[in-house]
Amino acid sequence: MYREQADAEVYSAVAEKAHDPRWELKDYTINVNPHSRMYDGFDPDNEPLPPDDPTSHKLMHYVDGMEGYPCWHLNGDISVVENPEWTHYLARNDRGEILLDLNQSVRLGLLHSREYQRELEDLYLSALDVTFERFRFDVQYFAGNDTFFTADGNRRAGSGGQSSSLLTSDTGFQANKLFASGGQLMVNVANSLVWQFSGTNTSAATTLLDFSFIQPLLRGGVKSQVLERLTLSERTLLGNIRAMERYRRGFYVNITTGRDAGQGPQRRGGVLGAGLA
C-alpha cells in the first residue's frame, strides 16, 4: 500500500512540472517493460533472493559471532537476474537475423539500458523528496493506547489490608499541522478508563481535550526559512525534469553517433536549477 501510494504521489509531482512541451515527459514511469532484459516478474513486495557470492552470502547468516536474519530464503531463490525471455521479443527476419535500423536501435537502447533506467530512478527519488516536504505541511495524525492490569494482595505494603484488581486503559489521539508561517497547531484528545474489580467493582472515565498553537515571531518564523526545504526540493525537481529531457535527447545522439549523453537527473544538492539558467 505504501509503495503504491508513493508511486502515485511521485508521478503526480512529476506531471505537475513536466507539462511544458519543451521538457514534457510522456508516460513517465520507473516500471521496467516486460520486454526488457531487466524485467522482474516477481512480486515486488515479496521478491525471491537473487544470486550472491557464496563467501559473502555466509555473512548474511552469521556475522561477527552472531546469527543473522533467518528468513532470507523465505520467498525462494532464483539462479539468474536477467529476464530469460527478453530475446524472444527481438524483431527478426525470416532467417532469424535481428533487424537493427536507427529507430530499432534507439528503441532497444531505451528498453535495455541500465544507465537510462538509473536516470529514471534518480528522477523518482528527486520527486520523492518533494512529496516528503509536502507531507510536512499536511495534517498529521497520531494515536496510541496503553492498557495495564495490576493486581495487589491485601498483604502488600500500603494496601491497607485490602486487595486491589485495577484495569486501566489510556487512549490518546493527536493531530498536528504546520503552517507556512512556522506556526504549529496541536490538538490532543486523551481518554482514560479505570475499572476496579476488587471490592465494589467501581469504574471511572475521564476525557481531556486540549489544543495549543505556537507561532514563532523572530527565529524560525519567517516564510523564507519555513518554506526553504520545500522550495529547494521543488526547484530541484523542476531542474531534474529538464535535465532528464536533455539526457533523453543526448541518449538518442549517443545511440546514433556514439557521443556521450551527458549528465542526467540528480538528487537535492546536485543540479539545483540545472535547467533554469
- What's 113's DSSP letter? -
| Cβ atoms of 4 and 29 closer than 8 Å | no
Helices (H), ranges, the chain? 2-17, 54-61, 102-112, 114-135, 223-226, 228-257
* Residue 230 pLDDT greater than 70, yes or no: yes
| Cβ atoms of 2 and 119 closer than 8 Å | no
* Residue 176 pLDDT greater than 60, yes or no: yes
* Residue 269 pLDDT greater than 60, yes or no: no
Polymer length in residues for the chain: 277
pLDDT for position 275: 41
The three cell numbers locating residue 255: 545511440
* Residue 199 pLDDT greater than 60, yes or no: yes
Least confident range from 64-78, 90-104, 144-158, 184-198: namely 144-158
pLDDT for position 265: 81
pLDDT for position 256: 86
* Residue 273 pLDDT greater than 60, yes or no: no
d(CA 159, CA 153): 8
Q: What is the mean pLDDT of residues 121-136?
A: 96
* Residue 213 pLDDT greater than 50, yes or no: yes
Comparing 164 with 60, the larger pLDDT belongs to 60
pLDDT for position 166: 85
Beta strand ranges found along 183-237 (DSSP E): 184-196, 203-214
Least confident range from 10-19, 99-108, 195-204: namely 195-204
pLDDT for position 39: 94
pLDDT confidence of 274, banded at 50, 70, 90? very low
- In the chain, count H helices and then E strands: 6, 6
Supply φ then ψ for residue 73, to 5 degrees: -100, 15
Instruction: Determine what percent of the chain is predicted with pLDDT higher than 90.
Output: 64
Strand partners, 167: 149, 195
Q: What is the mean pLDDT of the chain?
A: 88
Least confident range from 35-39, 102-106, 219-223, 269-273: namely 269-273
Q: What is the mean pLDDT of residues 125-148?
A: 95
Q: What is the mean pLDDT of residues 215-230?
A: 86
Comparing 45 with 202, the larger pLDDT belongs to 45
Comparing 54 with 270, the larger pLDDT belongs to 54
Instruction: Determine what percent of the chain is predicted with pLDDT higher than 70.
Output: 93
Least confident range from 50-59, 97-106, 171-180: namely 97-106
pLDDT for position 157: 67
Strand partners, 204: 194
Supply φ then ψ for residue 153, to 5 degrees: -80, 170
Q: What is the mean pLDDT of residues 125-137?
A: 96
Q: What is the mean pLDDT of residues 230-249?
A: 94
| Cβ atoms of 130 and 18 closer than 8 Å | no
Least confident range from 152-156, 185-189, 211-215: namely 152-156
